[in-house]
Structure 1
Amino acid sequence: MSIHRKTRLIQSASFAAIALFSSVPAFAQAADDQAADEASAPGEIIVTAQRRSENVLKVPVSVTVVGAEQLIQRGANDLTAVTKLAPSLQVAQDNTFSVRGVGTATFSNTVEASVSQVIDDVVLGNREYAANAFYDVARVEVLNGPQGLLFGKNASAGLVNITTNKPKLGEFSFSADGELVQRARPGDDGTGYQIRSTVNAPLGDKAALRLNAIYSDQDPITVGKVNPSVRNDLGLENLGLRAKLLFEPTDNLSVYVIGDYNRQRGITGRYDITFRQFGPGSQYPARGLVAGTENLNFAAEAPNFRDSDTGGLQANISLQLGNGMELSSITAWKQAKVDFQFDSDQTPFNFFSFNGANQKYDQYSQELRLALPSGNALTGQFGLYYYRSVGNNSGFRGGNNGVPDFVAVGFPFCIGATVTAGPPPACGVNNRSFLGQDFQYRLQNDSYAAFGQLGYQLTDTFKLTAGARLTYEKAQINLRENFGNYFVTLGVKKNVADQSTDATDLSYKLGFDWQATPDLMVYGFYGEGFKGPGFSNTAPAPNADLAVRPEISRGGELGIKGKALDGAVTFSLSGFYTKFYDLQVQAFVQALRTFVLGNAATATTKGIDFSFQARPFEGLTLSGSASYADATFDDYPGAQCYPTQTTGGCKADINSSLPGFVGTFNAKGYQLPLSSKFTATLGAEYAAPISDGLEAQFGIGYYHRSPQSAGIGAPFIIPTWDTIDLRAGVKADNWTISLFCKNCTNEIRPISVGSDGGDANPVGVAPPVLTLNQRFSFESVRTIGVRAGISF
């Protein structure tokens, strides 16, 4: 760690300590209080998986719930960390997620995710929001399977529903928590800290204000040899602010307004890229570079930074009507601005040193819902929904393919050359780089929907449910790409596209739930999910249709939920089968040396989810969950062969428009990217009283993930991952302190593996070489630390 970095850490830690012990209050207290208020009986877990508060054991949907206390105890500070608590949820690069093995793994923002994210009832259409750290979160619900019927839009594979704590009327309280960590890496270990605080203040007896803040600063996960003369923000600095106002002028009217702002600076946790494997004939080893499955070293000669600003404003208004119905309005505006650049070749040489973009995104949404009275034979809700998003993006990717500057400037490369008339070796063009791709586009998406779901209680124990959602979506793109000059253009030269596409869909759900005994529910349903159309932001050919067709999912689930031993044990078990049509996927096209979005034909995921919680005696809580998902392509005739692949009809020596082109094949039977067949987590928490108002706390967590597919083919499989987390601490009435370690045995695993573009298609060289790179997250390495919190 540099002297500057150490000084900054000491200064920031001093600020954190001052804020922690002078301003704000218990990290878990407020969330626990709110959960207790919502629960109707001790030990019940309340969720909003069906857009109304219900006991999770009475909800006929497979859902994993992670509460505020569990998030804090397990150090789950962001959505990536939740994947180790919710086995059906997986993560890859660029905040892309999958549920039950299905997700949208893409670098582009021109299609939305198959796994939707919702925060406080608002669908977030841009994945940049998924990078924000958690603060004042009441619970995280991972809803398995298609969920778009009630939750805004998309969610063809699943949904992550995040709920933050509401202001509390008539109560003044403070809370704060902070942590200092050390992460394993070569040489000096990395360090980091985080502080979160909350204040709740009454504004008379009918209103309350709740203010949240978070600040964190983390060292890089990887160790880099970088160019000191350019900008390098290799760590991650995060600032988050949120203000919430609750106003209840009458018993029937509630107005809830939320404003938030989140600022991130730095690349770690997002662009920690290293070499995993050099293929035979690779150009990199001779230049002194290293590779390995646990390689945390990289080099760079170009700038590395990421500036992200997100935020928005929303108003949730609910009116209790005199007949027991409830009318709700949710109005929201969200925005994101991102400016990034990273050296994507991971070398101190200019192979492909520039990969950057400037992105601006705005979304507006309006939802109206009418909920029927609960407790009657007929229950349900109806609604209308409107959503518009507008994204403006521009960027450049490129490099000099390792050609020295003194060579590159002359003919035939003419990079940075002075344009002169005459025959060669005169340069008639000034090229920006050897390899290059530039783009700018504006994307607009409009969605209109009407939806409803009804439940009818046929008997005291048997209920039928039916719902439908009629959606119309229209997307428009204005694209210009590759108007710069390059010796080799990545993609189509001087391509202009002004296109639109639309789709109408009627998705539906039919189901039942049967209360077989007072403690056991059996449920089942069949339905369709829908994810709207989009575009590829790179043309596969001149004047090509860029439209990506809608993604449709159809399938069902059969499950049981219940409790035993007077509620000491709760459990859920479900089996599922879902088929996807026109699955939206990304592929690296060798001939263009770039990624193109398109549709796979069909894919299927089928399997079982299981979870339990047990309290065998006072003070001990055992919990566990597991997910088995067999997610494979049924038919994908246009899958891109990876370099050196010879199976499935691929030929490594085929020369298409460029040397090294290896063709396409049918990926039928291949495991889907972002999928792992079996994932499980186990945990134990024990609390033992020490004296009045003081108790000792101990916790252990185990996580297992079978080999995960990061791409299509054997080279992109990430091996089995087993980790152990430990925690020990002391808790009093208004303070707590604990020591912890995560991934205690330092089982290093990346979150993604991909083919290196430089070796995959070297200009003028055939056949291509399969060299692999990899990305890491904060969960990839061992973390040890101390965490403390206060409340009053």
Structure 2
Amino acid sequence: MMMKVSHRLGILAASTILANASVPAFAQSASPTPGDQTAPVADDATADIIVTANKREERLHDVPISISVIGGDQITKQNINEVTDLVRSTPALNSAGPFGALSIRGVGSISFARSAEGSVGVVVDGVALANTSTNPPQLFDIARVEVLEGPQGTLFGRNSSAGVVNITTVAPDPNKWEVIGHADIATRNNYIGRAVINVPVAGNAALRIAGSYSQAPENQYNRYDGSYFRNIGKSVRGRFKWDPIDALTINLGADYSQFDRRGGTPWTVYQSTPGSLLSQRLAACGVVVGPKNQQGCIDGGNATTTRSYGFSGQVDAQIGGLTLTSISAYRAFKSTFGGTDVDSVPINRLNINESPTSVRNFSQEFRLTSPTDGLIDYVVGLYYFDSKLDGTNTQRGNILGDFTSGPAAALCPLAPFGPPAILCALPVGQVQTTSATTTSYAAFGNATLNISPSFRLLFGARYGREDVDARTTGVLVPGALTGVLSIAPISAGIHDTYFSYRVGAQFDVTRNVMLYGTYTRGYKGPSINDQTGTGNIPKIVQPEIPHAGEIGIKANAFDGRLTASIAGFYNRIDNFQAQFFDPTAGAFIFGNAPKLTTKGVSFNLTGRPTRGLTLNLGALYNDARYGAGYLVACAQGQTAAQGCMTIAPGVTVDDAGGNRLTGAPEWKVTAFGEYAATLTGNIQGFVQADMAYTSRINFDAAYSPQNTNAPAAIFGGRIGVRTADERFGISVFARNLFDVYRPVVRFATPVARQQLDPLSFSQISGPESRRTVGVSLDVKF
């Protein structure tokens, strides 16, 4: 998933430039209208698995797409709170890099550009979050999450060229009053509280309000002030559903989420050069540098607050056998910063690095859905999207440089014998202000031509227009001698029309076995390189075009209660949008890499084969590599024998062609299982276990043995008792049961070379980087 300029990514890029320049939803009742999406039944061993991947309710077995389904019950039992936590539950979904970016089958990347969007679409109750998808709402009171693999642009639009995370919340139920509560209390000051109330307003209307409070397990201790990094989330959501007449359904929704991330350090150093200033300063603070280090020492603070909220209205009207759907939505996101020290030590190398951002989106979708089982089943529609972003990027510190000549020489201290010091730290910094607008128009449709009861042809298309404009201006901060980044103005726009499509075929070998094959030409919209305005850097980032083929087989067993699927895929992406080093400009830019390819096999097994037993297994083999001609900066320590080339004085690059994609493991396996049985009378006992295995991950497009994650398997589990009607339950759980340390991401330490350390790496530890043990309580009335 493409990210906006975050305060952490901004410094990661800026400091590197300076360094080179200077030193399952099981068994649910299918609704006659797409807007009525209900919660999973707790233990129904007779019903099919229902999904809405094609914007209509269908059996998972019938959908010609590779899909991982995670039910709401599994989300609770795996202590999943945020969208990024879903990487523990589905093999195709991963983090593409630092700070929450997502990828599916390896495709996804980060971006410093404000006008860019991600490759992985996040959709909540039919509303695409678009450029606010890096800060989605918390996951609570969820009916199911569907992870759709491969390009999904025909139905889901411009920001789904790698796939879609399709989230469905629990709909209001007019047939019952209901109060649900859940609480987790665990080690490392980990707390979760959730509450839901369902209120019947009338026989045909209901209101559902849900709230969540969470404090993720503490990590990344700051020895300077004795604080841990804490991520606290507070969310509320309301849904109102009304059926004024049999042929009309109205769904209204609103939500608000706030995350306060503060304390500790933004990252910790796991490798540094012995004897360097960086190593000395860390040692003086008591930090022991090593591969499992989760301690830092900063004096400038670390605090970020993000707020996201939105409103939506969906109307579904039955017109004859057709369903006409209208979805209107408004989404907004705001971020503020109270402390952003990113130099790893208690000195002011770059203590201020802030990027407050404000985004507002409006979208409107009209959709017409045919009934099924005719000669042609279809979904057609129109889509409009308008977005406005305003943000600033402030960086300020005292950067080490060669100031022996020019006006700054007078400010440098004298060397022992008179002349100015060769290297001294002087104030630098700038404020960049960016405004970006995006407008999209599209017509889309999917159709299934039923040639015979067992053979179908598949067609899908989307025709649209993208208008993207961005403007950035910059000024030096008061007292600064120069900027960390360029303050040259940037102003550019691009207007593009596109046509994406999907064709395929589907064949029912038997009632329970289905074969399918599809080819998709996808599309990811253009953007502006709006954060770098020097030299001859291209301002326009061209559209990214995937060409994806997939063949698969799906099979049902146990009367449809268990669905297995296996798919082989190949995807070639032209003009891959990426952050990379441009040797002609001598700077890192957001632009187009020539090509990348992913190919492999995915497997999923989902369902309840017998009463009391729940299974959700998945595996992915993915050979994902960059194409030739993708020049990136050499990794720290990379030698000529390892592919590092000098193309100009002081400019070294590596042709990443053939290297594995950043953040894309070759193998990933996820497993979840639960077994419940009656112990006595009205009391059930249950035991649950889960596992996520990920092979080695590269975090640098260049050859970098140090900047990787070793293979690891992380286990979790839960054991408990509950009443048969699930009114009361208590359980004990463990996350990362065997306390296996595995960081979320690794990267070259920002500002390390400003502290005379040429070979330092840092890492970010996540909630599961250490073991957590706790107790869960559940009530339902």
Give the TM-score of the pair, scaled to structure 2: 0.87
Paired residue type of 1:136: D
Q: Does 1:58 align with 2:53?
A: no
CA distance in 2, matches of 1:581, 1:498: 26
Query: Deviation at 1:35?
Result: 4.1
Measured against aligned partners, the alpha-carbon deviations of 1:166-197 in whole angstroms (never above 9, x if no partner) come to 11123211111010121xxxxxxx21211111
Q: Which residue matches 2:571?
A: 578
Q: Which residue matches 1:196?
A: 194
Query: Deviation at 1:397?
Result: 2.1
Query: Deviation at 1:42?
Result: 2.1
Q: Is the 8 A contact 1:381 1:452 kept in 2?
A: yes
Q: Which residue matches 1:391?
A: 389
Q: Which residue matches 1:600?
A: 593
Query: Deviation at 1:359?
Result: 0.5
Q: Is the 8 A contact 1:401 1:434 kept in 2?
A: yes
Cα distance change, pair 554–438 in 1 and its aligned pair in 2 (3 A): same
Query: Deviation at 1:347?
Result: 1.2
SS in 2 for 1:663: strand
SS in 2 for 1:644: coil
Q: Which residue matches 2:253?
A: 258
Q: Is the 8 A contact 1:81 1:779 kept in 2?
A: no
Percent of aligned positions that are identical: 29
Instruction: Give the counterpart of 1:724 among 715, 730, 734.
Output: 715
Superposition map of 1:691-702 within 5 A:
691-702=680-691
Q: Does 1:535 align with 2:528?
A: yes
Query: Deviation at 1:346?
Result: 1.6
SS in 2 for 1:72: helix
Query: Deviation at 1:548?
Result: 1.3
CA distance in 2, matches of 1:47, 1:397: 46
Paired residue type of 1:784: V
SS in 2 for 1:562: strand
CA distance in 1, matches of 2:108, 2:493: 24
SS in 2 for 1:352: coil
Q: Which residue matches 1:454?
A: 447
Query: Deviation at 1:29?
Result: 13
Cα distance change, pair 470–358 in 1 and its aligned pair in 2 (3 A): same
Q: Which residue matches 2:166?
A: 161
Cα distance change, pair 568–312 in 1 and its aligned pair in 2 (3 A): closer
Query: Deviation at 1:279?
Result: 3.8
Cα distance change, pair 596–482 in 1 and its aligned pair in 2 (3 A): farther
Measured against aligned partners, the alpha-carbon deviations of 1:152-177 in whole angstroms (never above 9, x if no partner) come to 33211111011101111232111110
Which blocks of at least 5 consecutive residues in structure 2 are unaligned? 1-25, 31-36, 414-418
Cα distance change, pair 520–624 in 1 and its aligned pair in 2 (3 A): same
Query: Deviation at 1:612?
Result: 1.7
SS in 2 for 1:57: helix
Query: Deviation at 1:453?
Result: 1.3
Query: Deviation at 1:647?
Result: 3.8
Q: Is the 8 A contact 1:553 1:579 kept in 2?
A: yes
Superposition map of 1:338-353 within 5 A:
338-340=335-337, 341-353=339-351
Instruction: Give the counterpart of 1:641 among 634, 640, 648.
Output: 634
Superposition map of 1:656-671 within 5 A:
656=649, 661-671=650-660
Cα distance change, pair 330–614 in 1 and its aligned pair in 2 (3 A): closer
Cα distance change, pair 30–281 in 1 and its aligned pair in 2 (3 A): farther
CA distance in 2, matches of 1:516, 1:441: 56
Instruction: Give the counterpart of 2:83 among 44, 61, 79.
Output: 79
CA distance in 1, matches of 2:613, 2:642: 56
Q: Which residue matches 1:428?
A: none
Q: Is the 8 A contact 1:432 1:486 kept in 2?
A: no
Query: Deviation at 1:567?
Result: 4.4
CA distance in 2, matches of 1:638, 1:135: 43
Superposition map of 1:34-113 within 5 A:
34-35=38-39, 42-91=46-95, 92-113=97-118
Q: Is the 8 A contact 1:491 1:594 kept in 2?
A: no
Q: Which residue matches 1:738?
A: 731
Cα distance change, pair 297–541 in 1 and its aligned pair in 2 (3 A): same
CA distance in 2, matches of 1:502, 1:125: 18
SS in 2 for 1:600: strand
Q: Which residue matches 1:330?
A: 327
Paired residue type of 2:567: S
Q: Which residue matches 1:444?
A: 437
Cα distance change, pair 697–40 in 1 and its aligned pair in 2 (3 A): closer
Q: Is the 8 A contact 1:234 1:305 kept in 2?
A: no
Cα distance change, pair 194–36 in 1 and its aligned pair in 2 (3 A): closer
Q: Which residue matches 1:468?
A: 461
CA distance in 1, matches of 2:410, 2:143: 58
Which blocks of at least 5 consecutive residues in structure 1 are unaligned? 1-27, 183-189, 417-423, 426-430
Query: Deviation at 1:247?
Result: 1.4
SS in 2 for 1:676: coil
Superposition map of 1:756-771 within 5 A:
756-760=749-753, 762=754, 769-771=758-760
Q: Does 1:690 align with 2:675?
A: no
Cα distance change, pair 53–128 in 1 and its aligned pair in 2 (3 A): closer
CA distance in 1, matches of 2:359, 2:379: 31
Paired residue type of 2:389: G
Superposition map of 1:480-559 within 5 A:
480-484=473-477, 486-492=480-486, 494-539=487-532, 541-542=534-535, 544-559=537-552
CA distance in 2, matches of 1:527, 1:213: 39
Superposition map of 1:593-632 within 5 A:
595-613=588-606, 618-632=611-625
Q: Is the 8 A contact 1:697 1:729 kept in 2?
A: yes
Query: Deviation at 1:751?
Result: 1.3
SS in 2 for 1:126: helix
RMSD of aligned C-alpha atoms? 3.0
CA distance in 2, matches of 1:195, 1:319: 37
Query: Deviation at 1:540?
Result: 5.3
Cα distance change, pair 592–783 in 1 and its aligned pair in 2 (3 A): farther
Q: Which residue matches 1:276?
A: 270
CA distance in 1, matches of 2:290, 2:482: 30
Query: Deviation at 1:597?
Result: 1.2
Superposition map of 1:282-301 within 5 A:
282-287=276-281, 288=283, 289-301=287-299
Count of aligned pairs between the two proteins:
727
CA distance in 2, matches of 1:233, 1:318: 48
SS in 2 for 1:489: coil
Measured against aligned partners, the alpha-carbon deviations of 1:673-713 in whole angstroms (never above 9, x if no partner) come to 12011000223311121123210000111221000122213
SS in 2 for 1:583: strand
Paired residue type of 2:151: P
Paired residue type of 1:62: S
Paired residue type of 1:507: S
CA distance in 2, matches of 1:364, 1:513: 36
